[in-house]
């Protein structure tokens, strides 16, 4: 990704440090957060300094590598097991996190060097898969396609390129002039803050819309295509993604609009039979009750936007059943969601 004319990855490892774009400040301030230990990287995942399925997968892999580098010879394996538990406890829904921890843990049991190499390899694979997803999704675009996305599944949600936004970037670079409807994605506003910022940086036409505007836009024929990302995909194709994705899938079915999920193989959980088995993260009330942003002088404030005495319920993800999904845009092409296709894709 290009920010202020410089190429960045969302997250990378330098020596024993993990560096990441601090997503908490965006779009108002751009800074790099440096984590010097696996505990700090785990904290950054929990507090969403780094977020998005692929990016937290890479972060979790780097955190395991940090744990291996810091673990003493005596009690090495116990330290690794403890680190793996700590990192896995940060966020329960995105499968990439668990996939990376297990892969780097296995490598770390061979040597510290193998742990670092595996974490770097996973981050590089993440970039390659996201670029390939762009190519797989490109044929869905013709001139001036109007696409709706939800949450942020762009550069920031992966190590680079992203998933749902990857075909959109390619379509734009091929002068197909896509237009993107960006759902704000309450409560945290990943669409309004992050996707809008990414599209602005890439010079792609877009409008941010309130989340509850989608049905009306679809009824007016103003949305040609929906593409979202995914946090975990079960064996039967049921898909967990940011809360509100299910609403969009139901509406797309009603209005006969194709609804695609873009995700790499590392997001498919072969041990999860269906959507009911996907753990859904419940996050803090403050995400619903408060909003943070700068005033006109640039001073940051957090203000209440909900009656402070009212109780809140804040599940971060919902599950879209596979029968509402037109196809998965993957690094190996587009696949129709059913158990057989998914199993073939994962064993390829
Ligand atoms: O809670 P987040 O911001 O980490 O949620 C992840 C997401 O941004 C979306 O659910 C996204 O579509 C999946 S990540 C490509």
What are the C-alpha distances in Å from 127 to residues 9, 153, 264? 9, 13, 10
Give the mean model confidence (pLDDT) for residues 315-321: 98
d(CA 278, CA 78): 28
Residue 97 Cα to ligand 1 midpoint, Å, equals 12
Pocket test for ligand 1, best of 96, 148, 151 (most atoms within 8 A of CB): 151
d(CA 246, CA 239): 9
User: pLDDT confidence of 28, banded at 50, 70, 90?
Assistant: very high
Contact (CB, 8 A) for 99 and 266: yes
Question: What's the DSSP call for residue 183?
Answer: E
d(CA 315, CA 43): 20
Tell me which residue of 143, 208, 140, 188 sits closest to 288, measured CA to CA: 188
Q: Is the pLDDT of residue 78 over 90?
A: yes
226 Cβ neighbours under 8 A, 6+ residues apart: 147, 148, 149, 150, 248, 249, 252, 257, 258, 259, 260
Domain range holding 35?
Answer: 2-127
Same domain, 40 and 57: yes
Q: Can you give the CATH number for the domain in which 316 is found?
A: 3.40.50.10470
- Annotated active-site residue in 231, 238, 269, 318: 231
Residues with CB under 6 A from ligand 1: 51-54, 151-153, 157, 163, 190, 228-231, 241-242, 316
Final residue of a structural domain among 127, 152, 173: 127
Residue 283 CA, closest ligand 1 atom number: 1
Same domain, 161 and 305: yes
Same domain, 94 and 200: no
Final residue of a structural domain among 108, 127, 146: 127
Final residue of a structural domain among 107, 127, 147: 127
Write out the H or E segment, with its range, that includes residue 35: strand 32-35
Same domain, 307 and 180: yes
Residue 55 Cα to ligand 1 midpoint, Å, equals 9
**Average pLDDT value over all residues in the chain:** 97
| Total domains, the chain | 2
Same domain, 293 and 315: yes
Residue 240 CA, closest ligand 1 atom number: 10
d(CA 61, CA 88): 11
At 155-212, the pLDDT tens digits run: 999 999 999 999 999 999 999 999 999 999 999 999 999 999 999 999 999 999 999 9
Is-catalytic flag, 231?
yes
Same domain, 259 and 327: yes
Give the mean model confidence (pLDDT) for residues 36-44: 98
How far from chain centre, in Å, is Cα 338?
23
Residue 152 CA, closest ligand 1 atom number: 8
Q: Is the pLDDT of residue 1 over 90?
A: no
Give the mean model confidence (pLDDT) for residues 65-84: 98
Same domain, 93 and 111: yes
192 Cβ neighbours under 8 A, 6+ residues apart: 182, 184, 185, 208
Cβ atoms within 10 Å of 321's Cβ, excluding its own? 17
d(CA 321, CA 187): 23
Q: Is the pLDDT of residue 4 over 90?
A: no
């Amino acid at each position: 990704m290009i920010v202020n004319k410089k190429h960045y990855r969302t997250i990378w490892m330098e020596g024993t440090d993990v560096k990441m774009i601090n997503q908490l400040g965006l779009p108002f301030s751009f800074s790099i957060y440096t984590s010097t230990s696996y505990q700090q990287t785990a904290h950054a995942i929990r507090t969403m300094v780094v977020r998005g399925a692929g990016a937290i997968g890479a972060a979790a892999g780097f955190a395991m590598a940090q744990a291996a580098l810091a673990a003493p010879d005596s009690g090495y394996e116990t330290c690794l097991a403890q680190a793996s538990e700590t990192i896995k406890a940060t966020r329960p829904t995105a499968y990439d996190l668990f996939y990376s921890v297990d892969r780097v843990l296995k490598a770390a049991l061979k040597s510290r060097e193998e742990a670092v190499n595996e974490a770097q390899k996973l981050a590089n694979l993440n970039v390659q898969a996201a670029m390939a997803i762009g190519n797989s999704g490109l044929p869905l675009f013709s001139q001036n396609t109007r696409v709706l996305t939800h949450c942020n599944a762009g550069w920031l949600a992966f190590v680079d390129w992203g998933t749902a936004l990857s075909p959109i970037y390619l379509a734009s670079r091929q002068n197909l002039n896509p237009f993107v409807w960006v759902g704000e994605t309450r409560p945290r506003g990943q669409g309004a803050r992050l996707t809008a910022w990414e599209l602005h940086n890439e010079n792609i036409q877009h409008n941010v819309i309130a989340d509850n505007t989608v049905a009306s836009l679809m009824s007016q024929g103003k949305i040609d295509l929906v593409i979202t990302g995914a946090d975990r995909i079960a064996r039967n194709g049921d898909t967990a993604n940011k809360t509100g994705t299910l609403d969009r899938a139901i509406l797309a079915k009603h209005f006969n609009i194709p609804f695609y999920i873009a995700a790499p193989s590392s997001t498919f959980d072969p041990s999860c039979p269906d959507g009911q088995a996907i753990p859904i993260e419940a996050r803090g009330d403050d995400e619903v009750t408060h909003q943070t942003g700068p005033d006109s002088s640039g001073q940051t404030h957090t203000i209440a936007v909900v009656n402070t005495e009212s109780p809140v319920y804040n599940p971060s993800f919902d599950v879209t059943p596979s029968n509402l999904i037109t196809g998965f845009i993957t690094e190996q092409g587009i696949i129709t969601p059913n158990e057989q296709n998914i199993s073939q894709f994962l064993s390829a």
